[in-house]
Structure 1
């Protein structure tokens, strides 16, 4: 059985792959249906459609080559709390994700916050 770190690290590799290949409609499926994205622009992007629009705007602004470095992962029942870092063509920083385990056992980004 994979560890919480391995679960999140694998999902981060999938996020990188989908983003870097421009497959944003697939990328948003990594988020739960009620997922939220809270970037530094102080807005809350709620749900797949809003999250996809945010990432489309990021790519249009020149963000490419995302690299996620998985840091600490804490287990809390049906949630995992990740504190990690990112780097891309225009910036670098830190992020925290609360991962939610669905009824089918799949882990998805539930709340994604970065600076």
Structure 2
């Protein structure tokens, strides 16, 4: 389980670095081809291209950094796991834009973990 947690946390580090660099294609490549992205206030986004566009929209709205803190990782089968996360987004000056939680379903594809379903929920009312 420690190896699994380390692998997912490494993916999260890549996610945060790509987002901060405004490399939404890099972020989208951390998802499966047939992924589903569910962000508060948006329709479900299907596939990498739609995911890339949705995340670019977050950047365009002023979010410049995303902090992901894994709180729980567990198996759902040999090639599927879940991850529960607390997240914080920040603007360019470092102020908090949003705080919330996320649930990710990861799938192993050709020996590598990719996000398959990603659900973000803001704590804002």
3-state SS, counterpart of residue 64 of structure 2? coil
Structure 1's consecutive aligned runs of 4 or more residues displaced over 3 angstroms after TM superposition are none
TM-score (norm 1): 0.94
Return 5+ residue gaps in structure 1 as ranges: none
Contact 1:4 1:75 in 2 (8 A): no
More strand by share: 2
**Residue 11 of structure 1: CA displacement?**
0.6
TM-score (norm 2): 0.87
Number of corresponding residues: 114
Distance in structure 1 (CA, Å) of the matches to 2:33 and 2:108: 12
1:101 aligns with: 108
1:91 aligns with: 98
Contact 1:28 1:48 in 2 (8 A): yes
Return 5+ residue gaps in structure 2 as ranges: 91-96
How do residues 1-115 of structure 1 correspond to structure 2 at under 5 angstroms?
3-76=3-76, 77-89=78-90, 90-102=97-109, 104-115=110-121
**Compared CA separation, residues 42 and 65, structure 1 to 2 (3 A):** closer
Root-mean-square deviation over aligned CA pairs:
1.3
3-state SS, counterpart of residue 29 of structure 2? helix
